[in-house]
Structure formats: structure tokens, C-alpha cells
A and B are shown apart, each in its own frame.
Chain A
Amino acid sequence: MNNTRSQPSSCFPVVRIAGVNGMLVSFGDRLTEASNRAALAFRAALEERRIEGIGETATSLASVFTRFDPLVISHRRIEGLLRDLLATRDWYSAPLPAGRRLWRVPTVYGTDLAPQLDEAAEAAGLDRDEAIERLGTSRVRVLTIGFAPGQPYLGPLGPEWNLPRLQELTPMVPRGALVLAISQFVLFAGPTPTGWRHVGQTAFRCFRPESDAPIALRPGDEMIFEPVDRATYDRLSASDATGDGGATRTEIAP
């Protein structure tokens, strides 16, 4: 992003207020591999400390959110604790979490299932086949789970995909939609209005409330959205009982 009038990049990591019961530690105002990795590692370290008064922690793309009870632990005190933890190491060089998986997800690009592929390709300066080739071979990481249950933000994609969100919302994209903006994918967990471009369609279900493991993906997992034709997608959709939509999963060696 381009506006940081009050928060120049040089001051990261930065600790800021997020509501009367929240603090946000941000490792950047742009998504980078390192700022995402820093957020994942910092959150893990914060969880390990089990600080009284902290209700929960969560990561976003490049930040860690801490919810706490301001009547148990004051903002000043929690800010001090967060700054102390920040000072213990260089978080940007922290390793990725263990237990990561690689998912290969069958994906239809374009067609009436994903009608904004062509305009995304044009905005990226590519023809359709080249766009499918690049998107379909991009190995992206689950940067965070958010917006809706189990829904991953994925990236980074190449700089040609640094497209702003659309000002006009698409009224509804379906579950399993692969959408694109600002060099990221989102794989939608449910039907949602969005300003991101709908470039692919999968039969993958991110949220499976009927399952013992309702959330399929974890931050740090990697995904490849491999192109398939419409007939293959239809067959996978019709026969899918697990929610994987034909996706395969393998462990990533540490």
C-alpha cells in the first residue's frame, strides 16, 4: 500500500490499539514473505507465554492481534509486554511453523464459472493462456486464515498481479471461488460479495462444520491451483464427499 503518512515503514514492527480490548503488533504495511513469517512466529511465542488477561491471539497477513481484558491488564501493561517480547529476537528471520502441508487443488480458470479471468489477465498485461499458465503453476502460502471461517489469504503472487480491488462489488461469488487482488488469492469459504476478481473456481470447502476438523487449512500450508477442464471439475464436484474437491495433500518436509 502507498499511504503511511503517520506510520513510515521504517518504524515496523509497530504496536497499535485495536479497540478497547485489543492490540495489534504489525510487522509491515505491505505483505512480504518475511513480515508474514514474523507474524506467525511472534504469535506462537506470545501463546507460549500464557499471559494472564489475554483472551486470544490471532495472526493476519503481517500482524498479530491480541485480545485482552482491559480491566485485568491495562493497555500500557500489555503494550510493555508486547514490546519486551518483540525485543527478544529478530522476528523477520524466524522459521516457518512445523507441520506444513502442500495442497494441489483442481481449478477451472475462466469460463462462466469464473468470469473475471479475462479482465484480470488484461489488467496484468497477459493473454488468457499465459495468465492461466502463471496462476496455475504459482505455489502460494496460506498467509492467514480470516474474513470467514477457514478462509485462506494466499500469496504472494507475482508483481504483475498487484491489481487493486474493484471499486464496484461483485454481488456474490460462490463457495470455492478463487479470487485475486493485490498479488494475493483468496479461496472463498462461502458465498460472498467481493471486490476481488473471480478468476478460478474449485470444489474445495475451506469450512466443514459437520466435520471433526472443521478448518482444513493452516497458516504456513502451501497450495497450487492446478488447471482442469470443466468436465473434470463437474465430475469432482458431483463425487466429492470430503470437501477436498479432488485436492491432494502431502506433508512438506521441515
Chain B
Amino acid sequence: MSLIVRRIGPGCTLQDQGRSGCLDLGLSRGGAADLRAVAEGAALLRQGADLAVLEMAGMGGEFEAQCDLRIALTGAPMDASIDGAKVAWNASHLLPAGARLTVGAARQGVYGYLHVGGGFEGSTFLGSRSVHLAAGVGRAVAVGDDLPVGSDKGTETGLFLPADDRFSGGTLRVLEGFQTPLFAPEVRERFVATEFARGPRANRMGVQMVCDGAGFAAEGQLNILSEIIVPGDIQMTGDGRPFVLMPECQTTGGYPRIGTVIPADLPLAAQTPAGASVRFGFVSLDEAAQAEAEARAGLARLTAQARPLVRDIAQIADLLSYQLISGAISAHDDHTEEPT
């Protein structure tokens, strides 16, 4: 079982939950930039969220199934079609043997995900299939690659999940960290009062945030002892400009960090497109722990939320309460399966 890559955007990589437990080797966890999208795909295919997926960095590609495959598409919405027929995003589909899946550019957000029933296989390194470009582990997917697919125990397709709003910026919740006191109170106040735009520099290592006016420098910035970094850390570079660090960040660093974006908000940080507005707001430790509990509960609910895309009319108990005329599908776009 495999999927052949006929066209592919730059920087598309196989990802999973990453390889935790390697900090002492200097290797950051890596893994998908948007772990919520990984969980969504797993829910749509009724399989584990530990399987490898294809992360598409802003631009998809064209893929040919070597056998019947179940697929799901999640994350940043992209135009997708199977043999020319448009298919819904945030949904699962059958990709029959020989059929071509085409995925375009992100309409919103940054990272789109292609999941296959059984997950992508291929070599593992230290217990994970995640490509870690910054560390030189693995490489980006290239034209002509024949991506092996694991055996699929599921059969169901045609499920969808309601779209989530994490693709156009917003407020990132931040926990104070051990270097927050290096920033003067007035610098911290100005930081949370500032509206940033996501800058042009962004990848799986970090995302630049830009604003007008002075930078946000710490005291003694160039002489700080290099210290442990975690994903989500908001690092101030030499000129006091913030970068939110992503899964492929370095494991230690000497630039001071004003705080850490909580894990629950990292999907939004990763998916914020260039130019979109971002603000930062400090939360307490209890609020951060509560947000983590809620985020995980949200992921656990996804399986139940994944519902059939086209419902059997006989199974709709309250049929007469539906408005059946407006939103009818155009005759010129009769392949559209968007849930209404």
C-alpha cells in the first residue's frame, strides 16, 4: 500500500506526535506543528493519533493512490479534489486505486494535513517518524516519492468535523516563566498592550511577530546563561523582537524569553498566517493548567463529533424542521460535498 507523490509544495514533511524524551540529546520534540489537526484526522479515520501524517506547509500537491485508501484532510483549509471533483475539507474520503488527489494552497492558516487510513509508514528514528529538518533527521517529501502506508483496520469514510477557528490569528495565552522577571514591568505591560502581526519569517522552528515601535529587551540580554527552551517560548532576539518557538526549536538558547505560549494555543500560533493580528495575554498557572485540561477534553470529544458528511434522509428524525431549499447546490458545481 502506498501513495505516489506527483507534485508537492516546499517543506512538506511526514510528522507525528514527535519524539519526546530526547532533550538530553539536544533534540527537540518536533512533531506536527498543529497537533489538534492530527487529532482531527485520527477522529475522522477512527484510528490512533500516533500515526504519521503528511504536513503540508501552505501548499499541497498531487497524489496518486496505488490501492484503495481512506484519507482525511484537516488543518489549514485548502482546495482539494479527487480526479477533478471537489471534496470537503475537515472530512474523510475514499481515494480509490489510481485516483488522483489534488490539494491546493491554504485559503486560511498555514499547515494542512493529509492523513491516510493506517498512517504513513517509513523509517523511524528514536521512536518517531517525524522529519526534523532543523536537526537533519529525514527530508522533505519530493516528487516521485512512493510513501508507504500502513495496514488500515478501518472502513468508514465520509465523516466530517465542524471547522475550528484557529487559522486567522487571535490572542495567545502566555504563562510567565523563569526568565519573565528579566523584563522590566513596563516592558511586560507594553508587550501585552501591543498588537502584533505575524511576520514573514516563520517555519517549524519559530514564528516571527512584528510591531511598530521599540523592541522588548531584557536587562543584560547579551550575557544571559543559555538555558532550556520549550516549544511556545516567546524568545526576544538581539533587537528585542519576539519569535514564538515551534516544535523544531533549539533545546537551549541564550536569548531571553518573556513567557511561554500554553500548549493549548500552539495550534493557533502555528496556523496564524503572515500579516494576521496576534496579541499576547498572561494567564495564571491555574488558568494554564485548566486550559490544558480543557484542550485535552476537546481532543477526546473529536471522535464523537466526527459525523457522516452526507446524511441518509431516513435517519433524520426531524426532517420537517430543516430548511431544504436555501443552500441548495448549484448545478454548475455539482461535485461539491461541503456540509451545509
Name the contact of B136 in the complex, choosing from A21, A59, A146, A209 (C-beta under 8 A).
A209
Q: Determine whether the beta carbon of A18 is less than 8 Å from that of B230.
A: yes
Chain A interface main SS type: loop
Interface with B: A64-72, A115-123, A125-133, A242-250, which one? A64-72
Interfacial chain A residues near B125, Cβ < 8 Å: 209
A20 contacts B228, C-beta separation under 8 Å: no
The CA of A62 and the CA of B263, in the complex, are separated in Å by 26
Tell me how many residue pairs across A and B have CB atoms closer than 8 Å: 158
- Taken residue by residue from 142 to 175, chain A's Cβ proximity to chain B (1 for < 8 Å, 0 otherwise) reads as 0011111111010000000000110111000000
Nearest chain B CB to A51's CB is how many angstroms away? Answer: 15
Within 8 Å CB of B22, what residues of A?
56, 149
- In the complex, the answer to whether A168 meets B26 with C-beta atoms within 8 Å is no
Q: Give A75 to B175 CA distance when docked, in angstroms.
A: 13
Q: How far is the CB of B17 from chain A (nearest CB, A)?
A: 12
Question: Is the CB–CB distance between B228 and A207 below 8 Å?
Answer: no
A147 B296 Cβ-Cβ under 8 A: no
Judged by a CB distance under 8 angstroms, whether B292 is at the interface is yes
| A61 within 8 Å of B (CB atoms) | yes
Interface status of B288 (Cβ within 8 A of chain A): yes
- Is A222 in the interface zone, CB < 8 Å from B? no
CB within 8 Å of A: which B10-51 residues? 20-27
Measured between beta carbons, the chain A residues less than 8 angstroms from B178 are: 16-18, 24, 26
Q: Are B251 and A147 in contact (CB under 8 A)?
A: yes
A2 vs B25: C-alpha distance when bound (angstroms): 29
Q: Is A189 close to B, CB under 8 A?
A: yes
In the complex the two chains form, what is the Cα distance from A139 to B220 in whole Å? 28
State how many angstroms separate the Cβ of B266 from the closest Cβ of chain A: 11
Per the bound structure, the CA–CA distance linking A209 and B125 in Å amounts to 8
**Is the beta-carbon distance between B253 and A5 smaller than 8 angstroms?**
no
Q: State the interface size on chain B (CB cutoff 8 A).
A: 50
| 10 closest cross-chain pairs (CB), A and B | A146-B252, A16-B178, A6-B181, A58-B23, A3-B220, A3-B219, A65-B228, A58-B24, A164-B222, A147-B250
Query: Residues on B close to A: CB < 8 A?
Result: 20-27, 125-126, 134-137, 175-178, 181-182, 218-220, 222-228, 230, 232-233, 238-239, 250-254, 260, 262-263, 285, 288-289, 291-293, 296
Query: Could you tell me the distance between the alpha carbons of A129 and B71 in the complex, rounded to whole angstroms?
Result: 64
Contact: A168 with B238, CB < 8 Å?
Answer: yes
Cβ contact within 8 Å between A146 and B285: no
A74→B292 CA distance, assembly (Å): 12
Flag if B27 contacts A149 (CB, 8 Å): yes
Contact indicator B20/A20 (Cβ below 8 Å): no
- In the bound assembly, the distance between CA atoms of A21 and B21 in angstroms comes to 13
A interface list, Cβ under 8 A from B: 1-3, 5-7, 16-22, 24, 26, 29-31, 55-63, 65, 67, 70-71, 74-75, 144-151, 153, 164-165, 167-169, 182, 189-190, 195, 207, 209, 214-215
User: What is the CB-to-nearest-CB distance from A74 to chain B, in angstroms, rounded to a whole number?
Assistant: 7
Measured between alpha carbons, how far is A169 from B293 in the docked complex, in Å?
A: 40
Residues of A within 8 A of B253 (CB): 147
A43 to chain B: closest residue by CB: B24
In the bound complex, residues from chain B placing their C-beta under 8 Å from that of A147 are: 26, 226, 250-253
Which residues of chain B come closer than 8 Å to A55, judged between CB atoms? 20-21
Give CA–CA (A189, B181) in the complex, Å.
Answer: 31
Inter-subunit contact B260/A19 (CB<8 Å): yes
Tell me the minimal C-beta distance from B50 to chain A in angstroms: 15
* Alpha-carbon gap, A238 to B102, bound state (A): 45
- Report A-chain residues with C-beta under 8 Å of the C-beta of B238: 165, 167-169, 195
Contacts of B176 in A (CB 8 A): 17
Decide: A167 and B228 in contact? CB cutoff 8 A.
Answer: no
- Is the CB–CB distance between B25 and A190 below 8 Å? no
* A65 B23 Cβ-Cβ under 8 A: yes
Which listed residue (A6, A149, A153) contacts B25, Cβ 8 A?
A: A149
Q: Is the CB of B23 within 8 A of A70?
A: no
Whether A24 pairs with B228 at a CB distance below 8 angstroms is yes
CB–CB B177/A17 < 8 A: yes
- Determine if B26 and A1 form an interchain contact, defined as CB atoms under 8 angstroms apart: no
- Report the Cα distance A214→B137, complex, angstroms: 11
- B220 and A1 contacting across the interface, CB-CB below 8 Å: yes
If A5-B181, A149-B27, A149-B135 are given as contacts, then 10 extra A-B residue pairs at C-beta distance below 8 Å, sorted by A number, are A26-B178, A31-B225, A57-B24, A58-B228, A62-B225, A147-B226, A149-B22, A165-B223, A190-B135, A195-B238
Query: Which chain A residues lie closer than 8 Å to B225 at the CB level?
Result: 1, 29-31, 61-62, 182
